[in-house]
Amino acid sequence: MRTSHERGLFELYNDDHERADAVIFGRRTGASRRGFLRGAGLTAMMAALGTVIPFGRFMPGGLIPVALAQTAPKLLKMDGKADGLVILGDRPLVAETPEHMLDDDVTPNNKFFIRNNGQIPDAPADGNAWELTIDGEVNAPLKLKVGELMQRFPAVTLRLQLECGGNGRSFFQPTARGNQWTNGGVGCAEWTGVRLGDVLKAAGVEPGAVYTGHFSADPHLSGDNTKQAISRGLPIAKAIDGHTLLAYRMNGQPLPNIHGFPLRIVAPGYPGSASQKWLNRVWVRNEVHDGAGMGGTSYRLPKTPIVPGADLKEADTNIMESMPLRAIITSPATNTRLTAGTRRLDLRGHAWAGERAVRAVDVSIDFGQTWSKAEVKAPANKYAWQRWTATVALPSKGYYEVWARGTDDAGTQQPFQAAGWNPQGYGSNPMHRIAVLVES
């Protein structure tokens, strides 16, 4: 049986701008796009939306309204997970959390995104008996059961954001390789564990140590037990930072198996791949780790900008460390319909900036012509995302886009469009946009 693939507007616009305009707005292929949003073009867009666009005169040429760019996602059905997570890949299992489901200050376990590189291992019957090896460039190699970690080292509980290195990948043009994350490959849970630095100190890290290598129990997708599904690491300075944990509890409960039971690393601010699940070994090395996921262009960014679509060699890259600045709108949800006469809209969301802090969040309802400052709260602790709130006035009925733009403590702002294209699609952090409609 033959089936056809119905392409969403973002995909269609990536492939063929003119055809997309023709399909959606009745324009003939080959016609000039310049000035499209004046006159008949804007009228056609309002007809497609079924309402007026109060600030339509400010809409950038070629911009596709959020409300017209939605596609029907494949939703996850899984014990222990809330309805509404979106499946991005089946093998390995990868699922993201829509922005409106990330409104909690502390992300519940059932709303936390899923990112795997290999098969999901069976949960051990006794998590406390799970053994961790610390070896390599240390004076006294250690073999410690999780129960011994709990007894021997101080317990630490911190709110820490964890974010997939490819979060935002779907916004790149042309399309980059990998799971097509929007903004939902992130969560901020309350993690309990021991400091990795305390354990490394007990092992006696030697002066020549520069990097860790992480090893885990998740089988390779091929089933070949000689291969690692993933084996990444951390610079020693990050490994011994007081916020990098060997975590065994998530939001007060033992780690769910899908999130690494019984032991994982949590290295906040860095790509989530460095926070390895089902951890059973930390190898301290006198050189940068070269395990699975460390070579080629995996989790690497170009040293200098490249032309979108170009090839990239490992020698021309740097390992991705700090995750980029990002602000998301968590309430209201996109495509919210507001009752007739609504003239005030309360907004809230979260913002974070990898190794940096968020200095400001601004919002716009007129396609970036004017901006209003949001109130940004201090984080619960370093590496916890920051809550922001704002209120905007809606002058009339119609279709509005709300844009959110973060600024970090170095003055860097989120771009309007994804910048810094690279083949693996890392570092994409354009402003978040949602659609709301005030009914007549």
| CA torsion through residues 194, 165, 8, 66, sign | positive
Residue 73: inside a domain, yes or no?
no
- DSSP-derived letter for residue 178 is S
Confidence of residue 328 (pLDDT cuts 50, 70, 90): very high
Contact between 69 and 10 under an 8 Å Cβ cutoff? The reply is: yes
d(Cα 193, Cα 209) in Å, to the nearest integer? 24
Same domain, 96 and 146: yes
Q: At residue 59, does pLDDT exceed 80?
A: yes
| CA torsion through residues 387, 391, 392, 395, sign | positive
pLDDT in tens, 360-416: 999 999 999 999 999 999 999 999 999 999 999 999 999 999 999 999 999 999 999
65: exposed, middle or buried (C-beta count within 10 Å: 0-12, 13-18, 19+)? Answer: buried
Q: Residue 39 has what pLDDT?
A: 57
- Mean pLDDT along residues 302-318: 96
Q: Residue 61 has what pLDDT?
A: 77
pLDDT in tens, 15-58: 444 444 444 444 444 334 444 445 566 787 788 888 999 999 99
Q: At residue 98, does pLDDT exceed 90?
A: yes
Q: At residue 305, does pLDDT exceed 80?
A: yes
Q: 432 - beta bridge partners?
A: 404
Same domain, 307 and 193: yes
Where a domain ends, among 299, 319, 339?
319
Contact between 327 and 432 under an 8 Å Cβ cutoff? The reply is: yes
**123: nearest Cα among 2, 258, 325, 236:** 258
d(Cα 311, Cα 291) in Å, to the nearest integer? 22
Residue 101: inside a domain, yes or no?
yes
Same domain, 129 and 248: yes
**174: nearest Cα among 71, 325, 306, 72:** 306
Comparison of pLDDT for 67 and 215, the residue scoring more:
215
Query: Could you give the percent of the chain with pLDDT greater than 70?
Result: 91
CATH number at residue 352: 2.60.40.650
Same domain, 220 and 290: yes
Same domain, 345 and 311: no
- Mean pLDDT along residues 5-20: 45
Residue 60: inside a domain, yes or no?
yes
- The amino acid occupying position 121 is P
Q: Residue 302 has what pLDDT?
A: 98
The tokens describing 264, both together, are: 């994982």
Residue-number span of the structural domain to which 353 is assigned? 326-438
Q: Residue 82 has what pLDDT?
A: 98
Where a domain ends, among 289, 319, 349?
319
Contact between 323 and 271 under an 8 Å Cβ cutoff? The reply is: yes
Same domain, 183 and 266: yes
Q: Residue 49 has what pLDDT?
A: 85
Same domain, 255 and 206: yes
Same domain, 117 and 145: yes
- Mean pLDDT along residues 124-128: 98
Residue 4: inside a domain, yes or no?
no
pLDDT in tens, 367-378: 999 999 999 999
Q: Residue 71 has what pLDDT?
A: 79
Phi then psi for residue 116, to 5 deg, are -120, 155
Residue 3: inside a domain, yes or no?
no
Residue 80: inside a domain, yes or no?
no
Instruction: Domain count for the chain, please give it.
Output: 3
Same domain, 315 and 378: no
- Mean pLDDT along residues 429-439: 97
- The conformational region for residue 272 under phi > 0 = left, psi -120 to 50 = alpha, else beta, is alpha
Q: Residue 21 has what pLDDT?
A: 46
Where a domain ends, among 319, 338, 373?
319
Same domain, 172 and 293: yes
Residue 308: inside a domain, yes or no?
yes
Residue 77: inside a domain, yes or no?
no
Same domain, 46 and 107: no
Same domain, 305 and 379: no
Contact between 283 and 269 under an 8 Å Cβ cutoff? The reply is: no
CATH number at residue 147: 3.90.420.10
Q: Residue 40 has what pLDDT?
A: 60
Contact between 210 and 81 under an 8 Å Cβ cutoff? The reply is: no
